[in-house]
Amino acid sequence: SYELTQPPSVSVSPGQTASITCSGDKLRDKYVCWYQQRPGQSPVLVIHEDTKRPSGIPERFSGSNSGNTATLTISGTQAMDEADYYCQVWDSSTVVFGGGTKLSVL
Amino acid sequence: QITLKESGPTLVKPTQTVTLTCTFSGFSLTTSGVAVGWIRQPPGKALEWLALIYWDDRRYSPSLRSRLTITKDTSKNQVVLTMTNMDPVDTATYYCTRSVTPAYGPDYFDSWGQGTLVTVSS
């Protein structure tokens, strides 16, 4: 079965840029989604189809996908961005999630 | 406004079957490219996709396929997930989600319910 690998944790200072990676075999051949889950809340879609932001998601969130790695980038990170982030793809008509990355804004 | 809300038992015993209901509003399952799915999250762990139902199709997680059944009642705007032979490892928050199919890419989950915690214990 297909696997997505994310770092367990990433730290960033307020105002700086955070990068969260998601790795998988030939990931560039798939479209990647990213979900944000704040503590005690339901996940929220922040990026779909590698780079597209849903309505209402701040412009500081952006995505890219190249080679075997997709990246969620948060520019000018704010305290409210502290959350768990999950990448997700489709593989053989099934949904696959990464293990999640805890973003700490210190 | 799109809303989804999960309902069902909060506590089930091992080997029992659990039935979870998702009641949604703001969209219709008869619309092409729209689906409702279930995703769960054990305490402190990652998201795990379970099942998805469209107007004319349904899909299941390969690892749980034998234990899951997803059905819909479009007149009530409800989707029901049944999971058999529950085990303590199935303890998790179960989320109902809406999935949409974009013009070129694969589906994505754009709306989520608040989730319902199901604990499996004797």
Q: pLDDT per residue over A29-64, tens digit each?
A: 999 999 999 999 999 999 999 999 999 999 999 999
Residue of B nearest to A2 (CA): B62
Q: How many CB atoms lie within 10 A of CB A16?
A: 13
The string of DSSP codes covering B35-75 is EEEEEEE-TTS--EEEEEE-SS-EEE-TTTGGGEEEEEETT
- Inter-chain touch B47–A1, beta carbons under 8 Å: no
Whole-number Å distance between alpha carbons of A49 and A42: 21
- Residues lower than pLDDT 70 in chain B: none
Please enumerate residues of A whose Cβ is less than 8 A from a Cβ of B. Answer: 1, 30-31, 33, 35, 42-45, 48-49, 54, 86, 88-90, 93-100
Nearest-by-CA chain B residue for A54: B110
Distance CA A76, CA A96 (A): 29
Q: Which of B48, B62, B115 sits opposite A42 (nearest CB)?
A: B115
Q: What letter represents residue A21's amino acid?
A: T
Q: What is the pLDDT of residues B54-72, one digit of tens each?
A: 999 999 999 999 999 999 9
